[in-house]
Amino acid sequence: MISTGDWCLIESDPGVFTELISGMGCRGVQMEEIYSLEPEFTADLGPIYGLIFLFKWQNKRSAENTHIPEANDFSDHVFFANQVINNACATQAILSILLNRDDIDIGEELRNFKAFTADFPPEMKGLAISNSDVIRTMHNSFARSDPFVNDMVDPNAGKDQDVYHFIAFTPVNDAVYELDGLSNGPVNLGPCDENNWITKANEAIKRRMEAYGEAELHFSLMALIRDKVEQMEEQIEEADAILLSLPEDDVEARSRVIQDRSMYEQILEQEKDKRKKWHRENVLRKHNFIPLIYNLLRNLAEKGQLDDLIKTAKEKAVNRRQQ
Protein backbone atom coordinates (compact mmCIF):
# COMPACT_ATOMS: atom_id res chain seq x y z
CA MET A 1 0.00 0.00 0.00
CA ILE A 2 1.40 3.43 -0.97
CA SER A 3 1.42 5.91 1.91
CA THR A 4 0.97 9.64 1.47
CA GLY A 5 4.73 10.18 1.51
CA ASP A 6 5.68 7.45 -0.99
CA TRP A 7 5.64 7.59 -4.79
CA CYS A 8 5.66 4.42 -6.88
CA LEU A 9 7.83 3.73 -9.90
CA ILE A 10 6.27 4.68 -13.25
CA GLU A 11 6.84 2.53 -16.31
CA SER A 12 8.14 4.29 -19.41
CA ASP A 13 5.11 3.64 -21.59
CA PRO A 14 3.02 6.03 -23.71
CA GLY A 15 -0.23 4.44 -22.53
CA VAL A 16 0.72 4.96 -18.89
CA PHE A 17 1.80 8.56 -19.48
CA THR A 18 -1.30 9.40 -21.52
CA GLU A 19 -3.64 8.08 -18.81
CA LEU A 20 -1.60 9.89 -16.15
CA ILE A 21 -1.89 13.18 -18.03
CA SER A 22 -5.61 12.71 -18.58
CA GLY A 23 -6.12 11.82 -14.93
CA MET A 24 -4.57 15.13 -13.86
CA GLY A 25 -7.22 16.94 -15.90
CA CYS A 26 -5.40 17.69 -19.16
CA ARG A 27 -7.29 17.42 -22.42
CA GLY A 28 -6.37 17.17 -26.09
CA VAL A 29 -2.88 15.64 -25.77
CA GLN A 30 -1.28 12.21 -25.69
CA MET A 31 2.14 10.62 -25.41
CA GLU A 32 3.73 8.82 -28.33
CA GLU A 33 6.90 6.73 -28.25
CA ILE A 34 9.34 7.75 -30.98
CA TYR A 35 12.56 6.25 -32.25
CA SER A 36 14.05 9.19 -34.11
CA LEU A 37 13.68 12.96 -34.16
CA GLU A 38 14.55 13.26 -37.83
CA PRO A 39 11.83 15.11 -39.80
CA GLU A 40 10.78 12.05 -41.80
CA PHE A 41 9.86 10.28 -38.55
CA THR A 42 8.07 13.18 -36.84
CA ALA A 43 6.15 14.72 -39.77
CA ASP A 44 3.00 12.66 -39.14
CA LEU A 45 2.84 13.35 -35.41
CA GLY A 46 1.36 16.83 -35.68
CA PRO A 47 2.36 19.48 -33.12
CA ILE A 48 5.03 18.30 -30.66
CA TYR A 49 4.74 20.15 -27.34
CA GLY A 50 7.68 18.53 -25.59
CA LEU A 51 9.94 15.50 -25.29
CA ILE A 52 10.61 13.15 -22.39
CA PHE A 53 13.90 11.26 -22.38
CA LEU A 54 14.64 8.22 -20.20
CA PHE A 55 18.21 7.18 -19.42
CA LYS A 56 20.26 5.44 -16.75
CA TRP A 57 20.98 7.98 -14.02
CA GLN A 58 24.53 8.50 -12.77
CA ASN A 59 25.24 10.36 -9.55
CA LYS A 60 28.72 11.60 -10.47
CA ARG A 61 29.91 13.26 -13.63
CA SER A 62 32.91 11.55 -15.14
CA ALA A 63 35.54 12.93 -17.46
CA GLU A 64 33.63 11.40 -20.35
CA ASN A 65 30.36 13.22 -19.68
CA THR A 66 31.50 16.64 -18.54
CA HIS A 67 30.04 18.15 -21.72
CA ILE A 68 26.52 17.47 -20.41
CA PRO A 69 25.34 21.04 -19.72
CA GLU A 70 24.88 22.45 -16.23
CA ALA A 71 21.97 24.65 -15.19
CA ASN A 72 22.46 28.08 -16.76
CA ASP A 73 19.10 29.84 -16.71
CA PHE A 74 16.95 30.72 -13.71
CA SER A 75 14.40 32.89 -15.50
CA ASP A 76 11.08 33.39 -13.73
CA HIS A 77 9.14 32.64 -16.91
CA VAL A 78 10.29 28.99 -16.85
CA PHE A 79 8.44 26.59 -14.56
CA PHE A 80 11.17 24.48 -12.96
CA ALA A 81 10.83 22.25 -9.90
CA ASN A 82 13.53 20.37 -8.06
CA GLN A 83 12.79 16.70 -7.48
CA VAL A 84 12.57 16.30 -3.71
CA ILE A 85 11.03 12.83 -3.49
CA ASN A 86 12.12 9.47 -4.91
CA ASN A 87 10.43 8.08 -8.04
CA ALA A 88 8.67 11.35 -8.91
CA CYS A 89 10.83 12.09 -11.96
CA ALA A 90 8.35 10.73 -14.54
CA THR A 91 5.51 12.92 -13.34
CA GLN A 92 7.84 15.88 -12.87
CA ALA A 93 9.07 15.55 -16.46
CA ILE A 94 5.46 15.55 -17.65
CA LEU A 95 4.66 18.62 -15.54
CA SER A 96 7.77 20.38 -16.85
CA ILE A 97 6.14 20.33 -20.28
CA LEU A 98 2.51 20.89 -19.31
CA LEU A 99 3.20 23.84 -17.00
CA ASN A 100 5.48 25.57 -19.51
CA ARG A 101 3.01 25.50 -22.41
CA ASP A 102 0.20 28.02 -22.86
CA ASP A 103 -1.31 26.14 -25.81
CA ILE A 104 -2.39 23.04 -23.84
CA ASP A 105 -5.62 22.69 -21.89
CA ILE A 106 -4.08 21.59 -18.59
CA GLY A 107 -7.37 21.69 -16.69
CA GLU A 108 -8.49 23.56 -13.59
CA GLU A 109 -6.40 21.63 -11.04
CA LEU A 110 -3.08 22.23 -12.77
CA ARG A 111 -3.97 25.83 -13.66
CA ASN A 112 -4.58 26.51 -9.98
CA PHE A 113 -1.39 24.68 -9.04
CA LYS A 114 0.64 26.70 -11.54
CA ALA A 115 -0.78 29.98 -10.27
CA PHE A 116 -0.26 28.98 -6.63
CA THR A 117 3.42 28.06 -7.16
CA ALA A 118 4.28 30.83 -9.63
CA ASP A 119 6.53 32.73 -7.20
CA PHE A 120 7.99 29.67 -5.46
CA PRO A 121 11.69 28.82 -5.81
CA PRO A 122 12.47 25.44 -7.47
CA GLU A 123 12.75 23.49 -4.20
CA MET A 124 9.41 24.83 -2.97
CA LYS A 125 7.82 23.94 -6.32
CA GLY A 126 9.12 20.40 -5.86
CA LEU A 127 7.67 20.24 -2.35
CA ALA A 128 4.36 21.54 -3.69
CA ILE A 129 4.30 18.74 -6.27
CA SER A 130 5.02 16.10 -3.64
CA ASN A 131 2.21 17.46 -1.45
CA SER A 132 -0.40 17.79 -4.20
CA ASP A 133 -3.13 15.22 -3.53
CA VAL A 134 -4.29 15.25 -7.16
CA ILE A 135 -0.82 14.75 -8.66
CA ARG A 136 0.36 12.21 -6.07
CA THR A 137 -2.86 10.17 -6.18
CA MET A 138 -2.84 9.96 -9.97
CA HIS A 139 0.86 9.03 -10.00
CA ASN A 140 0.35 6.31 -7.38
CA SER A 141 -2.66 4.89 -9.19
CA PHE A 142 -0.05 2.97 -11.21
CA ALA A 143 1.44 1.31 -8.13
CA ARG A 144 1.72 -2.45 -8.53
CA SER A 145 -0.59 -4.47 -6.29
CA ASP A 146 2.28 -6.76 -5.34
CA PRO A 147 3.41 -7.05 -1.71
CA PHE A 148 6.69 -8.66 -2.81
CA VAL A 149 7.82 -5.71 -4.95
CA ASN A 150 9.74 -2.88 -3.34
CA ASP A 151 8.64 0.09 -5.41
CA MET A 152 10.85 2.68 -3.79
CA VAL A 153 14.27 3.24 -5.38
CA ASP A 154 16.79 5.57 -3.82
CA PRO A 155 18.85 7.63 -6.32
CA ASN A 156 21.68 7.28 -3.83
CA ALA A 157 21.36 3.48 -3.86
CA GLY A 158 24.26 1.10 -4.19
CA LYS A 159 26.42 1.06 -7.30
CA ASP A 160 25.02 -2.27 -8.50
CA GLN A 161 21.45 -0.99 -8.68
CA ASP A 162 20.27 0.50 -11.97
CA VAL A 163 18.30 3.70 -11.52
CA TYR A 164 16.54 5.32 -14.47
CA HIS A 165 15.62 8.95 -14.77
CA PHE A 166 13.28 11.08 -16.88
CA ILE A 167 14.02 14.60 -18.11
CA ALA A 168 12.03 16.94 -20.34
CA PHE A 169 12.72 19.21 -23.31
CA THR A 170 10.33 21.96 -24.38
CA PRO A 171 10.44 25.45 -25.92
CA VAL A 172 9.66 28.42 -23.67
CA ASN A 173 9.66 32.04 -24.88
CA ASP A 174 11.72 31.41 -28.03
CA ALA A 175 14.33 29.20 -26.35
CA VAL A 176 14.50 25.44 -25.91
CA TYR A 177 15.09 24.12 -22.39
CA GLU A 178 16.32 20.92 -20.82
CA LEU A 179 14.41 20.44 -17.55
CA ASP A 180 15.85 17.93 -15.09
CA GLY A 181 14.47 17.89 -11.56
CA LEU A 182 17.80 16.62 -10.19
CA SER A 183 19.64 19.59 -11.68
CA ASN A 184 20.03 22.96 -9.98
CA GLY A 185 17.86 24.66 -12.58
CA PRO A 186 16.80 24.72 -16.23
CA VAL A 187 19.35 24.48 -19.04
CA ASN A 188 18.86 26.98 -21.86
CA LEU A 189 19.94 25.18 -25.04
CA GLY A 190 19.68 28.28 -27.20
CA PRO A 191 17.16 30.34 -29.16
CA CYS A 192 14.55 28.55 -31.23
CA ASP A 193 11.08 28.71 -32.68
CA GLU A 194 8.32 26.11 -33.00
CA ASN A 195 9.86 24.93 -36.29
CA ASN A 196 13.44 24.24 -35.18
CA TRP A 197 13.36 23.51 -31.45
CA ILE A 198 13.20 19.76 -32.11
CA THR A 199 16.54 19.96 -33.93
CA LYS A 200 18.23 21.64 -30.95
CA ALA A 201 16.69 19.19 -28.49
CA ASN A 202 17.80 16.30 -30.70
CA GLU A 203 21.38 17.55 -30.59
CA ALA A 204 21.29 17.72 -26.78
CA ILE A 205 19.82 14.22 -26.52
CA LYS A 206 22.46 12.81 -28.86
CA ARG A 207 25.23 14.45 -26.78
CA ARG A 208 23.80 12.93 -23.63
CA MET A 209 23.57 9.47 -25.23
CA GLU A 210 27.14 9.71 -26.50
CA ALA A 211 28.31 10.71 -23.02
CA TYR A 212 27.29 7.34 -21.61
CA GLY A 213 29.28 5.37 -24.14
CA GLU A 214 28.46 2.31 -26.20
CA ALA A 215 27.64 0.16 -23.17
CA GLU A 216 24.54 2.19 -22.25
CA LEU A 217 21.63 0.88 -24.31
CA HIS A 218 18.74 1.77 -22.00
CA PHE A 219 17.26 4.88 -23.56
CA SER A 220 13.72 5.74 -24.55
CA LEU A 221 12.09 8.85 -25.96
CA MET A 222 8.48 9.99 -25.93
CA ALA A 223 6.80 13.03 -27.42
CA LEU A 224 3.84 14.93 -26.03
CA ILE A 225 1.66 15.57 -29.06
CA ARG A 226 -1.85 16.69 -29.88
CA ASP A 227 -4.46 13.97 -29.47
CA LYS A 228 -4.32 11.89 -32.67
CA VAL A 229 -8.01 11.00 -32.44
CA GLU A 230 -8.91 14.70 -32.44
CA GLN A 231 -6.45 15.34 -35.28
CA MET A 232 -7.99 12.66 -37.49
CA GLU A 233 -11.56 13.70 -36.69
CA GLU A 234 -10.72 17.24 -37.77
CA GLN A 235 -9.06 15.98 -40.94
CA ILE A 236 -12.20 13.99 -41.81
CA GLU A 237 -14.41 17.04 -41.21
CA GLU A 238 -12.15 19.14 -43.45
CA ALA A 239 -12.25 16.49 -46.17
CA ASP A 240 -16.05 16.42 -46.00
CA ALA A 241 -16.17 20.22 -46.32
CA ILE A 242 -13.86 20.10 -49.35
CA LEU A 243 -16.01 17.43 -51.00
CA LEU A 244 -19.09 19.60 -50.57
CA SER A 245 -17.32 22.53 -52.22
CA LEU A 246 -15.99 20.57 -55.21
CA PRO A 247 -18.12 20.29 -58.34
CA GLU A 248 -19.44 16.82 -59.12
CA ASP A 249 -17.63 16.72 -62.48
CA ASP A 250 -14.19 17.32 -60.92
CA VAL A 251 -13.62 13.59 -60.64
CA GLU A 252 -9.85 13.72 -60.17
CA ALA A 253 -9.93 16.21 -57.28
CA ARG A 254 -12.81 14.43 -55.57
CA SER A 255 -11.00 11.11 -55.91
CA ARG A 256 -7.90 12.52 -54.17
CA VAL A 257 -9.96 13.91 -51.29
CA ILE A 258 -11.92 10.66 -50.92
CA GLN A 259 -8.66 8.73 -50.83
CA ASP A 260 -7.26 11.06 -48.15
CA ARG A 261 -10.48 10.78 -46.14
CA SER A 262 -10.26 7.00 -46.25
CA MET A 263 -6.71 7.17 -44.95
CA TYR A 264 -7.79 9.46 -42.08
CA GLU A 265 -10.57 7.05 -41.15
CA GLN A 266 -8.14 4.16 -41.11
CA ILE A 267 -5.71 6.04 -38.84
CA LEU A 268 -8.61 7.07 -36.60
CA GLU A 269 -9.67 3.45 -36.11
CA GLN A 270 -6.07 2.45 -35.41
CA GLU A 271 -5.79 5.17 -32.77
CA LYS A 272 -9.07 4.13 -31.13
CA ASP A 273 -7.89 0.51 -31.05
CA LYS A 274 -4.60 1.66 -29.53
CA ARG A 275 -6.46 3.52 -26.76
CA LYS A 276 -8.44 0.36 -25.95
CA LYS A 277 -5.20 -1.62 -25.81
CA TRP A 278 -3.58 0.99 -23.56
CA HIS A 279 -6.56 0.92 -21.18
CA ARG A 280 -6.53 -2.88 -20.97
CA GLU A 281 -2.76 -2.92 -20.30
CA ASN A 282 -3.13 -0.28 -17.59
CA VAL A 283 -5.88 -2.30 -15.90
CA LEU A 284 -3.62 -5.36 -15.94
CA ARG A 285 -0.69 -3.32 -14.55
CA LYS A 286 -2.75 -2.37 -11.52
CA HIS A 287 -4.23 -5.82 -10.89
CA ASN A 288 -2.88 -8.13 -8.19
CA PHE A 289 -2.43 -11.58 -9.75
CA ILE A 290 -0.93 -13.22 -6.65
CA PRO A 291 -4.23 -14.70 -5.31
CA LEU A 292 -4.93 -16.15 -8.76
CA ILE A 293 -1.45 -17.69 -9.02
CA TYR A 294 -1.60 -19.01 -5.45
CA ASN A 295 -4.96 -20.72 -5.97
CA LEU A 296 -3.88 -22.13 -9.34
CA LEU A 297 -0.74 -23.69 -7.83
CA ARG A 298 -2.70 -25.03 -4.84
CA ASN A 299 -5.31 -26.66 -7.09
CA LEU A 300 -2.60 -28.24 -9.24
CA ALA A 301 -0.88 -29.57 -6.11
CA GLU A 302 -4.15 -31.02 -4.77
CA LYS A 303 -4.66 -32.83 -8.07
CA GLY A 304 -1.11 -34.21 -8.01
CA GLN A 305 -0.14 -32.36 -11.20
CA LEU A 306 2.23 -29.72 -9.86
CA ASP A 307 5.37 -31.90 -9.48
CA ASP A 308 5.16 -33.13 -13.07
CA LEU A 309 4.66 -29.60 -14.39
CA ILE A 310 7.67 -28.34 -12.41
CA LYS A 311 9.80 -31.21 -13.75
CA THR A 312 8.73 -30.48 -17.33
CA ALA A 313 9.44 -26.76 -16.91
CA LYS A 314 12.94 -27.49 -15.59
CA GLU A 315 13.67 -29.78 -18.54
CA LYS A 316 12.51 -27.08 -20.99
CA ALA A 317 14.72 -24.53 -19.25
CA VAL A 318 17.76 -26.83 -19.54
CA ASN A 319 17.04 -27.41 -23.24
CA ARG A 320 16.77 -23.68 -23.90
CA ARG A 321 20.11 -23.02 -22.20
CA GLN A 322 21.77 -25.79 -24.22
CA GLN A 323 20.36 -24.42 -27.48
Measured CA to CA, the distance from residue 11 to residue 188 in angstroms comes to: 28
Question: Whole-angstrom Cα distance, residue 1 to residue 11?
Answer: 18
Report the C-alpha gap between 15 and 275 in whole angstroms: 8
Sheet containing 164-172: order of strands: 29-34, 220-226, 48-56, 164-172, 175-179, 187-191
Annotated active-site residue 8? The verdict is no
165 tagged catalytic: yes
Contacts of 134 (CB under 8 A, 6+ apart): 24, 25, 109, 113
Q: In terms of DSSP bridges, do strands 29-34 and 48-56 run parallel, antiparallel, or are they unpaired? A: unpaired
List 8, 139, 165, 192, catalytic entry: 165
Q: Count of alpha carbons within 13 Å of 133, Cβ hemisphere only? A: 0
From 8, 26, 89, 192, active-site residue? 89
Judge contact between 2 and 152, C-beta under 8 A. no
Neighbours of 210 (CB within 10 A): 14
Phi/psi of residue 176, nearest 5 degrees: -100, 135
Burial track 93-104 (b if 16+ CB lie within 10 A, e otherwise) = bbbbbbbbbeeb
Positions marked catalytic? 89, 165
